[in-house]
Chains A and B, each alone.
Chain A
Amino acid sequence: MHIDLKREVTRSTSGRFGIGLFSLILAMALFAPLLAGYDPLAQSEVSLHAPSWGHLLGTNHVGQDIWSQLVYGARTSLLVGLSVAAVSTTLSAILGAASALIGGLFDRIMMRIVDAFIVIPILVVLVLLAAYLQPSVWVLIIMLSLLGWQGGARTVRAQALSLKERMHVSAARCFGASRWYLIRRHIVPELSPILVVGFIYSMRRAIFLEAGLAFIGISDPSTVSWGMMMKEAMDFSYLNAWTWWMIPAGVALSLTIIAITFIGHSMEPAMDPRLREVVEGEALA
């Protein structure tokens, strides 16, 4: 199974669209200090101001510049998304592969735990944890990672199990390759497409959950989050302020998730070749 995911994504329209959109948001996060113009947390006397040249998207209830908050919000979303995806994908790679290679009782216990976590409603668990722990961004990242590796571990395990039995791996083992060598040279490279897809989906989930928790009121007060902006704007729904306060934050969040969804979708045919575009005239209809 040699898959070139990069080619797969750049070849499809939805993949290119996703990459383009995501780069835009990434640029916004990277160059936030240049784009913002104000400190996103600095309060001023001009509160609930309509958009003007001084404040592109107006100001909120404590006089913070909404455009600056929007730009810095990209940082929080991407920081949480990328970190959680990195940690939980690493965890699922290690634990999934270990489960497949060690097998036996360890494998069985691991898989029961994984299945149990897949059916538990994570958001409610997060709310309970957050009620007690009052998490900072970093604690939130750890919480989301610990609750996010299970689905990926199952996929990795299945793939590693089938790889273990392949000819070339047996051949390498016959030549005296150590277990570590096998993992490094044969298992990990063949697993990478699955890990990339897992990374994409766990990033999407983490960004959604971070915004959702902030929307419920669980967020680090020292950072700006799109979910938090939407929650604050909601309290002023009787004013017209939501049109330049809630909507931009919601759209930015949605565009980020849409970009990731499109990238993920463009990888699906590579993982399941039956989904590839049919040749003209081959369709039944």
Chain B
Amino acid sequence: MQRLGSGRRVLGTKNVTIYIVALIIIIALNFLLPRLMPGDPLMAIYGDEALVQMSPQLEAELVQRFSLDQSLWHQFGAYIGGLFTGDLGHSYYYNAPVFDVILGRLPWTLLLVGLSMVLSTLIGIVLGIESGWRRGSRTDRALLGGLMSLNGFPDFFIGMVLLLVFGVTLGLLPLSGAVTPYSGLSGGALVLDVLKHLILPLAALTLAHVAAAYLLTRNTMITVLKEPFMLTAKAKGLFPRVLKYRHAGRNSMLPVLTMTGIWVGTLITGTIFIEIIFSYPGLGYLMYEALLFRDYAVIQGVLLLVATIVLAVNFLVDLSYTKVDPRVRYAH
């Protein structure tokens, strides 16, 4: 996986075109898919269940709003115009604008993805440095075998096992949700309650993703250890700990930073599964509900927002890369 992805950096770092192309693909998909489906486009945009509850006035209003009685180009103009004003459509299930529905769920996903990103990367880097440093030793082999196997367990399987063991069987932690409903908690008690609900989803997500950072750091560590500057550092008589972390470890972290952008994508994918299992009220669970109730507008909104987040993070990583490794700037 790393091998296939890492070639990406060959390309200029400030290449904004990729992000624009990616966004165009998503928007085109959102716009064209419902309109290319056979049958009434209104039904395709809103799902057949929605139409049953619809009055003729509302239908006329929606046709006018999407300019469905006009040419495809005209419709596209109306669609783009809507996007710029934050109009992602109307969710019939929640009977609210899609934008508001999504915004309400976003913080939970950000909390889960953000924390798990930090945790899995940190743990992965430290384990990778330790493992690469004593390559071939018993510790290294155990870590490598263990984490590679862990890498094989799909996030949703890890999540289910954690839920069934710690939630259902042992009854130690809550089974679903992000807070205890109707508890009226506030202050410290509320924070504690949120944390209690967060532990299992966070653990599942982190366990499933720690191997990526570990494997990458270990590989780079092995190549960095063979660099001449390591020999010089060793000849200077530096302590092994300084050698390991300050000289080798620091240089092994660059590829990890490069991959962060890609990992945000895989983590968001993982979060979708984890949120479904734990009924955690983030974007993933929202999308799952929307799929169940055929609330197409919400799925499209989630896709657009998630894509924008992933693209933004990738863009930021690109920008920070020149700061961390000045050589990149001169290379272009």
Q: How far apart are the CA atoms of A119 and B3 in the complex, in Å?
A: 16
B10-21 vs A: 1/0 string, CB under 8 Å?
A: 110001011101
Q: Does A257 contact B (CB under 8 A)?
A: yes
Question: B292–A217 contact, CB under 8 A?
Answer: yes
Question: A128–B148 contact, CB under 8 A?
Answer: no
Question: B157–A238 contact, CB under 8 A?
Answer: no
Q: Does B29 contact A (CB under 8 A)?
A: yes
- B145–chain A nearest beta-carbon distance, Å: 8
Question: A283–B37 contact, CB under 8 A?
Answer: no
* A interface bracket (residues with beta carbon within 8 Å of B): 35 or more
Q: Does B34 contact A (CB under 8 A)?
A: yes
B151-177 vs A: 1/0 string, CB under 8 Å?
A: 111101100110110001000000000
- A139–chain B nearest beta-carbon distance, Å: 14
User: If the complex has contacts A211-B154, A212-B154, A237-B168, are A116 and B25 also in contact, measured as CB distance less than 8 A?
Assistant: yes
Residues in B with CB closer than 8 Å to A255 are 152
Q: How far apart are the CA atoms of A271 and B3 in the complex, in Å?
A: 9
Q: How many A-B residue pairs have CB under 8 A?
A: 180
Q: How far apart are the CA atoms of A118 and B258 in the complex, in Å?
A: 13
User: If the complex has contacts A112-B17, A120-B26, are A128 and B5 also in contact, measured as CB distance less than 8 A?
Assistant: no
Residues in A with CB closer than 8 Å to B88 are none
Residues in A with CB closer than 8 Å to B294 are 131
Partner of A155, one of B7, B33, B145, B314: B7
Question: B149–A119 contact, CB under 8 A?
Answer: no
Residues in A with CB closer than 8 Å to B5 are 118, 151
Residues in A with CB closer than 8 Å to B26 are 120, 125
Q: How far apart are the CA atoms of A240 and B17 in the complex, in Å?
A: 53
Q: How far apart are the CA atoms of A129 and B296 in the complex, in Å?
A: 11
Q: How far apart are the CA atoms of A213 and B160 in the complex, in Å?
A: 16
Q: How far apart are the CA atoms of A14 and B21 in the complex, in Å?
A: 40
- B286–chain A nearest beta-carbon distance, Å: 11
Q: How far apart are the CA atoms of A190 and B37 in the complex, in Å?
A: 44
Q: Does B65 contact A (CB under 8 A)?
A: no
From A240, which residue of chain B is reached at the shortest CB distance? Answer: B169
Question: B37–A132 contact, CB under 8 A?
Answer: yes
From A233, which residue of chain B is reached at the shortest CB distance? Answer: B160
Partner of A131, one of B234, B243, B296: B296
From B34, which residue of chain A is reached at the shortest CB distance? Answer: A132
Name the segment of B74-82, B98-106, B299-307 touching the other chain. Answer: B299-307
Size of the chain B interface, CB-CB below 8 angstroms: 73
Question: B18–A242 contact, CB under 8 A?
Answer: no
Q: How far apart are the CA atoms of A254 and B268 in the complex, in Å?
A: 20
Q: Does B50 contact A (CB under 8 A)?
A: no
Residues in B with CB closer than 8 Å to A117 are 22, 25
Question: B153–A215 contact, CB under 8 A?
Answer: no
User: If the complex has contacts A208-B154, A257-B154, A284-B234, are A115 and B11 also in contact, measured as CB distance less than 8 A?
Assistant: yes
Question: A284–B25 contact, CB under 8 A?
Answer: no
Q: Does B180 contact A (CB under 8 A)?
A: no
Question: B276–A216 contact, CB under 8 A?
Answer: yes
Q: Does B134 contact A (CB under 8 A)?
A: yes
Question: B156–A122 contact, CB under 8 A?
Answer: no
Question: A154–B8 contact, CB under 8 A?
Answer: yes
Q: Does B280 contact A (CB under 8 A)?
A: no
Question: B4–A246 contact, CB under 8 A?
Answer: no
Q: Does B269 contact A (CB under 8 A)?
A: yes
A238-278 vs B: 1/0 string, CB under 8 Å?
A: 10001000110010011101111110010010011011011
User: If the complex has contacts A115-B8, A132-B37, A253-B157, are A121 and B152 also in contact, measured as CB distance less than 8 A?
Assistant: no
Question: B33–A129 contact, CB under 8 A?
Answer: yes
Residues in B with CB closer than 8 Å to A268 are 3, 219
Q: Does A197 contact B (CB under 8 A)?
A: yes
- A200–chain B nearest beta-carbon distance, Å: 10
Residues in B with CB closer than 8 Å to A278 are 135-136
Question: A284–B22 contact, CB under 8 A?
Answer: no
Q: Does A15 contact B (CB under 8 A)?
A: no
Q: Does A123 contact B (CB under 8 A)?
A: yes
Q: How far apart are the CA atoms of A125 and B299 in the complex, in Å?
A: 9
Partner of B287, one of A127, A234, A237, A285: A127
Question: A274–B149 contact, CB under 8 A?
Answer: no
Question: A121–B33 contact, CB under 8 A?
Answer: no
- A231–chain B nearest beta-carbon distance, Å: 9
Question: B291–A127 contact, CB under 8 A?
Answer: yes
17 sample A-B contacts, Cβ–Cβ < 8 Å, listed by A number: A119-B314, A124-B272, A124-B302, A128-B33, A131-B291, A132-B33, A154-B7, A208-B154, A215-B273, A216-B273, A230-B156, A234-B160, A250-B153, A250-B157, A254-B154, A261-B148, A275-B219
Given contacts A125-B26, A127-B303, A155-B4, 5 further A-B contacts (CB under 8 A): A124-B303, A212-B269, A250-B154, A275-B219, A285-B133
Nearest 6 Cβ contacts at the A-B interface: A258-B152, A116-B22, A116-B21, A250-B157, A151-B4, A115-B18
A residues with CB within 8 A of B: 14, 111-113, 115-125, 127-129, 131-132, 151-152, 154-155, 158, 197-198, 201, 208, 211-212, 215-218, 230, 234, 237-238, 242, 246-247, 250, 253-255, 257-262, 265, 268, 271-272, 274-275, 277-278, 283-285
